[in-house]
Amino acid sequence: MLNSGVLVLNRAFFPVHITSVRRAFCLLYAGLARAINSRYEMFDFQSWSELSIHTSEEAIGLVGRMIRVPRVVVLTAYDRVPRRNVRFCRRNIFGRDRNTCQYCGKAFPTNELNLDHVIPRSRGGKTTWENIVCSCIACNKRKGGELPEQKGMRLIRRPARPQWAPQFAFSPRTSIRQEWLPFLSLVDFTYWNLELEH
Ligand SMILES: [Zn+2]
């Protein structure tokens, strides 16, 4: 139980990683995180430990009483998440490019953007941070299989590997808990987080 998973959200309620119940209690106790119940209410350690426990709920004995096991906690500060290598996946490419077509500079909803190889694959272009950008459907069509210069197109920004902390991604072995679902958009989770082939 102490080692089972707890979903950690950042202050913006984005999932950042999974920790253990043990560590979640430490964060909670230290005031670095708040527990969230199924009604999205937040609790500090004190108020959480005072919650009554229904028979259907998991609880553990701690500081002399039974305390509900939190399954989702939210960090009270942004900077508690260690930086790791930013995962090369669709979600992060869209994030880097802020859902903006890198040719015409307009922002689009996700489903109206493609990933474009700046140097087309047919010309040896690689699938890398430096050669993949978001592109709207119109710009994508216009560019076709050519180099941007050949179509009089210019990138608004040179694509590079981002420096920010990565979006959360599950390892394939993670068993996803019911309580996490409201915080994960699982519809296209695999699609968005799948590591792209280099
Ligand atoms: Zn465009």
- pLDDT at position 10, please? 82
DSSP 18-32: EEEHHHHHHHHHTTS
Chain-wide mean pLDDT for the chain? 84
Q: From the CA of 145, how far away is ligand 1's center (Å)?
A: 15
Residue 187 has pLDDT above 50, yes or no: no
Instruction: Give me the residue label for tokens 């004995």.
Output: 61
Residue 128 to residue 126: CA distance in whole angstroms: 6
Q: From the CA of 133, how far away is ligand 1's center (Å)?
A: 11
Question: Per DSSP, what are the bridge partners of residue 117?
Answer: 132
Q: From the CA of 112, how far away is ligand 1's center (Å)?
A: 10
In sequence order, the 6+-apart residues with CB closer than 8 A to the CB of 122 are 145
Q: From the CA of 114, how far away is ligand 1's center (Å)?
A: 10
The answer to whether the Cα torsion of 25, 27, 29, 34 is positive or negative is: negative
Whether the model clears a pTM of 0.95, i.e. scores above it, the answer is no
- pLDDT at position 166, please? 46
What tokens does 64 get? 């002399």
- Of residues 104 and 188, the one with the higher pLDDT is 104
* Most confident listed range (2-11, 82-91, 178-187): 2-11
- Of residues 181 and 61, the one with the higher pLDDT is 61
pLDDT bin (cut points 50, 70, 90) of residue 12 is confident
DSSP-derived 3-state class of residue 110 = helix
**155-182 b/e with 16+ CB inside 10 Å = b?**
eeeebeeeeeebbbbbeeeeeeeebbee
What topology is assigned to 90-151 in CATH?
Answer: DNA Binding (I), subunit A (1.10.30)
Q: From the CA of 39, how far away is ligand 1's center (Å)?
A: 41
Q: From the CA of 106, how far away is ligand 1's center (Å)?
A: 6
pLDDT bin (cut points 50, 70, 90) of residue 168 is low
Of 92-96, 129-133, 144-148, the poorest mean pLDDT is in: 92-96
- pLDDT at position 169, please? 58
* Torsion of the alpha carbons at 133, 195, 4 and 73, rounded to the nearest 10: 0
Distances from the Cα of 12 to the Cα of 49, 82, 122, 131, 132, angstroms: 24, 16, 41, 30, 27
CB 43 within 8 A of CB 35: yes
Select from 83, 91, 93 the least CA-distant residue to 128: 93
In angstroms and rounded to an integer, the radius of gyration of the C-alpha atoms of the chain is 21
Q: From the CA of 119, how far away is ligand 1's center (Å)?
A: 16
In sequence order, the 6+-apart residues with CB closer than 8 A to the CB of 192 are 89, 90, 91
Taking only the tens place, the pLDDT of each residue in 69-106 is: 999 999 987 654 555 567 788 888 988 898 999 999 99
- Residue extents of the structural domains in the chain: 5-83+168-191, 90-151
